[in-house]
Amino acid sequence: MKIPAKVPVFWFRWLLAVIVGAMLFGISMILSPGFIRRFFSLLVYTSANGMESRFGTAAVAYITLIHGVLGAVMFGWGMALLMVLLGPFRRGSREGWLILSVSIAVWFVPDTLFSLWTGFWQNAVFNLVFALLFAIPLAATYGVFRSDRT
């Protein structure tokens, strides 16, 4: 029987906080659509009412729908990440580390490239900050997961 690797508590809690934070952000996109619209309006247009002043009512309603759908997807993705963190990652399984790492990379690369391609560099910067919150503890725990121990 192989002994599970010891995952440092500090990095485990860091990832837990980031995942729960992402889930809360996702659910807030559904429960607080006005706040989220103002947040992204500030991020992109440097004005809390930038969307409302630039687009018509129908466009703002559609943006609200897209934010809600994206929030639900983020919440679901966060739940999957949480289950991986609490299961295979916590047990020291290499697959747990890989699932978290690959999931973040597979989200980050196309989302960031698309943001840059469409001219919304602000979202690319937001993505970078979010990705770093995951990358730091994943890099710090890489040695624990170098070889499969479970």
Sign of CA pseudo-dihedral 90, 70, 22, 126: positive
Question: How distant, in Å, are the alpha carbons of 68, 69, 126 from that of 31?
Answer: 8, 12, 21
pLDDT for 55-108, tens place per residue?
Answer: 778 888 888 898 899 999 999 999 999 999 999 999 999 999 999 999 999 999
Q: What is the mean pLDDT of residues 100-128?
A: 95
As given in the structure block, the two tokens for residue 113 are 């490239």
Tell whether 2 is covered by a domain. Answer: no
Tell whether 4 is covered by a domain. Answer: no
Domain tally for the chain? 1
Query: Whole-model pTM?
Result: 0.86
Tell whether 150 is covered by a domain. Answer: no
Tell whether 27 is covered by a domain. Answer: yes
Q: Which domain holds residue 80?
A: 9-144
In this prediction, residue 83 carries a pLDDT of 98
pLDDT at 18 over 90: yes
